[in-house]
Amino acid sequence: MSFPSLIITMLFAFVSVFAFAQSEVVSSDADAMPVISKVEAASVFSTDPDSKICFIDFMKIDGYAKQLTVKNAAGEVVLDEPVWELPENTLYELDYNEYQEGNYTVEIQTYSTAIQQEIKVK
């Protein structure tokens, strides 16, 4: 095989491999897009009205929790706590014994969504 034929063959092989590899990367990236599923609040939150504790199961949350916010019925923030440093398998206990009587909204914010639960303090 002559030198020019060898160069042309190697160039053709390189272009072919690059073209096929590029098309695979594009299709792989499209397939790798995350699917965000809707998480039911009932699976994340559970409350014990007698002991006034709201349990928040971080393992049931799609993605990582970053902020916990509790607001009263007037929309005033009662608690605003960063939770992004907590482990993904955390079972958070929100003690609302000190809260005044009324309705509250507990919200967990992730990097893609927010999950809310209403609690009533008697």
The predicted-structure confidence for 77-100, as pLDDT tens digits, reads as follows 999 999 999 998 999 999 999 999
Q: Residue 14: which pLDDT band, with cuts at 50, 70 and 90?
A: low
- State the chain's mean pLDDT as an integer: 81
| Among the listed residues 81, 75, 85, 84, the one whose alpha carbon sits nearest the alpha carbon of residue 94 | 81
Q: Are residues 116 and 83 in the same domain?
A: yes
Better pLDDT: 105 or 39: 105
Q: For residues 58-63, give the mean pLDDT.
A: 87
The identity of residue 117, as a single letter, is: Q
| Among the listed residues 81, 84, 87, 90, the one whose alpha carbon sits nearest the alpha carbon of residue 56 | 90
Q: Are residues 28 and 82 in the same domain?
A: no
User: Is residue 103 a contact partner of residue 122, using CB atoms and an 8 Å limit?
Assistant: no
Which residues 6+ apart lie within 8 Å of 6 measured at CB?
Answer: none
Q: Are residues 55 and 112 in the same domain?
A: yes
Tally the domains of the chain.
Answer: 2
Q: Is the pLDDT of residue 9 over 90?
A: no
User: Cα separation of 69 and 82, whole Å?
Assistant: 9
Q: For residues 51-73, give the mean pLDDT.
A: 93
pLDDT at position 11 is 66
Q: Are residues 29 and 71 in the same domain?
A: no
Q: Are residues 60 and 115 in the same domain?
A: yes
Q: Are residues 107 and 48 in the same domain?
A: yes
Better pLDDT: 24 or 110: 110
pLDDT at position 2 is 76
Q: Is 66 helix (H, G, I), strand (E, B) or coil?
A: strand
Domain that holds residue 87: 41-121
